[in-house]
Structures are given as structure tokens and as C-alpha cells.
Amino acid sequence: MLYLVPTPIGNLEDMTYRAVRLLNEVDLILAEDTRTSKKLLNHYEISTPLRSHHAHNEHGTTPAIVQQILGGAKVALISDAGTPGISDPGFYLVRECVKNEIKVECLPGATAIIPALVASGLPCDRFHFEGFLPHKKGRQTRLIHLSSLENTFSLYESPHRIGKCLTQLAEHCGGERLACVCRELTKLHEEVKRGTLDELAAHYSGQKTKGEIVVVVAGK
């Protein structure tokens, strides 16, 4: 069995009882960054063996993990924050487990996308999730595509590029398009700022920003 276990995006209290129980019961936990995950496991007094599994080594480690599970092991995959596979490692391991007829079970839990969408005040009955935009090659193409969408869309952005991102979104979507920037969700300094793309671009271009960011933009 492979379990995909969401972990808190900031507030350590956002672990479910089931997630804590399973992480205690499995034979091995695969973590994106063992140093980050160790803090969470120590908080919940979880002593299950921990092994590194991230984007740079997953192709090399996956075959052995699959064989370990086929041999009877129960393995849990966690990311640094949120649900594995959503802009985080996970897809490749899940695909290989499915190919080998290994049961995969994904627990519901923390993710930054849904709280940001709901808190934005923009329509969220249907939406598009973009993940991270390409830094260079293909970025312009994605921005043009996003500007044409009729539904609300959301994306992740780093604090170092948020001003540039909002400026580019304003250029392609129009400065009056409504949007919302959600920063440090669930954490002590959580910030949800709403306005037009022009207003948000002006605000975030003129200051140093820290933390994880989700941008939500109204549809065309």
C-alpha cells in the first residue's frame, strides 16, 4: 500500500487524526526534505523511518520503493507542505505503483489552492489551477492562455517574483481585472489582499515580500 499524506502548509495543527495514525503505522515515510519533515514528525512524536524522495532523485529511487511495497511494506509519501503531487513530487511514484497494481490511497487534507480560492471572494464553482508559471521559456504563452480563460484561475508564485508576476498579469489580462493575493496562509502573518491587478502590482512591486504565495485572478 502507498499512502499519500497531506501535511500542513503552515499551521502544525492542520494535521488530521488519521494522518498522524497512518504515519505512525507505516513501515517507511518518504519525504521531500527530511529536515523539514523531521520537525513535523517530532511535533507529533512519530518515529517511523524517514527517507528522502524528491524531484531530483525520484526516478532513481522509485523502482526500489515499488519493490519494497510489493514485498509487503506500507509506505507513506509526504511533501514539505500540502498534498503530494500538487506542484510537488508524487506523480511518478503513483504512476509506477498503479502500473504494478499497488493500491494507492490519498488522504484529504491541507492544500493552499482551495483556501485561497474561497477567501478571494471570486467565483470558485469552476476554476483553473496553473501551478508555477515557467520562469522564461513558455511563460508568455501561458500568460496569453490564462488571460483568455473565462473561469477564475490560480497560480503559485515566489515572493521574489510576485511584483513582476502581477505586472505581467495586468498587462495580459487588463489592469482592472479583479484578483487576490494570499500570502502565508494558516500562519501567524497570514495576509489576504484583494483588488485590481494594477492595484496589487503597485503594492507588491514596491516592497520586499516573504512567504508562500497563491494568486487568484477573476476570469475574462
- Tell the CATH superfamily of the 2-106 domain: Tetrapyrrole methylase, N-terminal domain (3.40.1010.10)
Domain spanning 113-217: CATH 3.30.950.10: yes
- C-alpha cell at position 86: 500538487
Q: What is the pLDDT of residue 206?
A: 80
* Domain boundaries, given as residue ranges, for the chain: 2-106, 113-217
Look at residue 88 in the predicted model and tell me its pLDDT.
Answer: 87
Nearest by Cα to 29 from 63, 86, 80, 101: 80
Asked if 161 contacts 141 with a C-beta cutoff of 8 angstroms, the reply is no
pLDDT by residue for the chain (220 residues), tens digit each?
999 999 999 999 999 999 999 999 999 999 999 999 999 999 999 999 999 999 889 999 999 999 999 999 999 999 999 999 998 889 999 999 999 999 999 999 989 999 999 999 999 999 999 999 999 899 999 999 999 999 999 999 999 999 999 999 999 999 999 999 999 999 999 999 999 999 999 999 988 899 999 999 999 9
Number of Cβ within a 10 Å radius of residue 168: 19
Residues in the chain, overall count? 220
Q: How far apart are CA 220 and CA 217, in angstroms?
A: 9
CA distances from 125 to 12, 73, 90, 152, 197 (A): 29, 40, 26, 9, 21
The yes-or-no answer to whether 2-106 and 113-217 have a common fold is no
